[in-house]
Amino acid sequence: MRSQDRTRSMILRRRLAVALTASLALTGSVALAQQAAELVGPPDPTKTVPAEPLEDWVIDDIRKMRAYPEQPPIIPHSIEGYQLTVNANRCMTCHKREFTQGSGAPMISVTHYMNRDGQMLADVSPRRYFCTECHVPQADVEPLVGNTFTDMIHIGSQPTGSE
């Protein structure tokens, strides 16, 4: 009889342990689901939410001052509808060395004609072919993040020969 009581007792303990584990898992998963819902957003992910309209690009064709040395210049004109693929790059129709005289556009930097070893190439380097990896159009908007950048000219440096 004692062995039967022990077996029943063990079975009851196991069932109790399984029930407690299941209830803890259920409670924990409900809590996690609530936290995830708060992080993800609205409870209905299939709901269509209208996007905010994009700001208008600055398209005045005026070259902007660069904020720091080696900064890629921004694009001061609209590039909407420009094709930029492996087979076509509309930027090159004006900015490639041989077309700048007719277009009046600034020539791309000579560094765009160099391979990674610094050797000059006859055509634009594949590493520099996709212009919008570095060059971007500019929108006239408030910055998303504060910026404390100060140009060297404003921190007390004097131009050469001004002494």
Q: Where are the domains of the chain?
A: 1-42, 57-140
Sign of torsion over alpha carbons 60, 105, 138, 53:
positive
Q: What pLDDT score does 28 carry?
A: 63
pTM flag (> 0.85): no
In the DSSP assignment, the letter for residue 77 is S
Q: How far is CA 142 from CA 52, 73, 91, 147, in A?
A: 15, 20, 28, 11
Residue 105 and residue 58 in contact, taking contact as beta carbons nearer than 8 Å: no
Per-residue burial over 66-86, b = 16 or more CB atoms within 10 Å of its CB, e = otherwise: eeeeeeeeebeeebeeeeeee
Residues of the chain with pLDDT below 70 are 1-5, 20, 22-43, 157-160, 162-163
Cα(30)–Cα(71) distance, rounded to whole angstroms? Answer: 50
Residue 76 and residue 62 in contact, taking contact as beta carbons nearer than 8 Å: yes
CATH level 2 (architecture), domain 57-140: Orthogonal Bundle (1.10)
Q: Which two tokens stand for residue 117?
A: 């070893």
Tens-digit pLDDT profile for residues 118-146: 999 999 999 999 999 999 888 888 888 88
Question: Which of 133, 142, 138 has its CA nearest to residue 65?
Answer: 138
